[in-house]
Amino acid sequence: MNAAQKANNNPEGYGPGEKPELIQVFEQKAATPYQTYKTIEYRMDDVEYPDSFKMAGVPYSLYPDFANIGRFHDEYKALMMDRYAPYTEVGISRSFGESYDYLFGCQVESLDELPEGLIGIDTGLKRFASITFRAPSQEELVGGSDGPGDAMVIATEFLKEVWLPEHLDEVAPIVDWDSSCFEIKIGEETYHMNLIEVYKVELDVDAEMCYYIPLKP
């Protein structure tokens, strides 16, 4: 794949001394403190961006077994942290025509002039519900090569069994309940997408992450 490739469909990790604006907003919302579901602490928030949510990352299809995550960290993390402050890491699973892929990278403001080897995605989405959840350790949060961490599994369970059934009229259409897959229509474009993963940089320091759930326009 060549430099600054972009998906045709329209579908941060902290820098030194800096927290993503989104996390700052979360922490300021004292009216919605963390709650407990089974073994995780979580909170739900509404998120709205002035422009559509974009990311640039490395595809799983070229680096299987989630080697794309290591590839991004080794080759691009330092560069993208310098370019974007605050900085947020992102994982997105979505369709590209007839194929499906998982990209891991970071949130960006523009898809222009991306470093060679990164693929840019414009989700076309501005509004999300977000579940922020945390665990005692990085391993318990995100797991490893043998699968997702317990916290990710439990957060997904909470969304599917508790939150989503009560908010079906607010979220994008669900086309596969088991995998939490949504159908996204942006103008003439239609694609499928799973929950968006939003990560802090240093999970070993603060084991917390978010899932973004796409809301209807």
pTM of the shown model = 0.82
Nearest to 141 by CA among 85, 94, 211: 211
Predicted local distance difference test score (pLDDT) of residue 149: 75
pLDDT per position as a tens digit, 77-86: 999 999 988 8
pLDDT per position as a tens digit, 57-72: 999 999 999 999 999 9
Which residue is it, tokens 């669900």?
Answer: 174
**Mean pLDDT computed over every residue of the chain:** 86
Predicted local distance difference test score (pLDDT) of residue 8: 42
Nearest to 1 by CA among 97, 114, 90: 114
- Measured over the CA atoms of residue 137, residue 141, residue 145 and residue 146, the dihedral's sign is positive
Q: How far apart are CA 47 and CA 69, in angstroms?
A: 25
pLDDT per position as a tens digit, 153-173: 999 999 999 999 999 999 999
Q: How far apart are CA 55 and CA 123, in angstroms?
A: 8
